[in-house]
Amino acid sequence: MKKEKCIVLGVLSLSFIVSCTPPKMIGQVNMISNRNISTTFDYEQLSTYSYSGRLSKPTAKTIQEAIDQTVKDVPGGEFIMNAKIYTKDMCYVVVGDVWGHGTNVGYGEFVRGDSVIWKGTGSTNYNKNGKIVAFKDQTTAIVEEDGGKRTEIKIKNLIKSE
């Protein structure tokens, strides 16, 4: 009986340790795609550091599925540059900058190129302004301020300006 308890405790401990391990990077590539890329089209960077799902609980069973999930999460996405491939629990996540067709790419009421305003840190007034240059994901825009500095801002905190 004592031996059985030790075995059960050992198996439970091992499964806990394995489930808490972070994702392991298995590769890094300059460009990755599941589609044919036109050499004559002028692609634009649509999103930075994009990935589908969660790094802690990936769902893609193949690298191809992970690429598709990441690219399809970004409207107009075609391929990934500066990609890192992670694995955890026999599933995959691909993280990188999504490039594609930039025309009217956006989330909700916002598209790339929109002029926007938002509140600065600690401010109660909308005192910052800039243009949306990319989307990190469905909730975060990358905005270039008038001075050229790029900042990640939650889309819900942005207001279109004229």
> What does pLDDT average to in each consecutive run of 10 residues of the chain (162 residues)?
56 51 86 84 84 80 92 84 92 91 71 86 81 80 84 89 78
Partners of 92 in beta bridges = 60, 87
Q: Whole-angstrom Cα distance, residue 52 to residue 54?
A: 7
Measure Cα distances from 80 to 35, 47, 61, 95 in Å: 11, 9, 19, 8
CB atoms within 10 A of CB 84: 18
Q: Structural domain boundaries of the chain?
A: 22-100, 108-160
Tokens of 40: 């004559």
Residue 93: per-residue pLDDT: 92
Cβ contact 125:119 at 8 Å: yes
CATH topology of domain 108-160: SH3 type barrels. (2.30.30)
pTM here? 0.58
Surface-to-core class of residue 98, CB atoms within 10 Å of its CB (0-12 exposed, 13-18 middle, 19+ buried):
buried
Residue 79: per-residue pLDDT: 93
* Residue given tokens 């499964």 in the structure block: 15
CB atoms within 10 A of CB 115: 12
CB atoms within 10 A of CB 153: 19
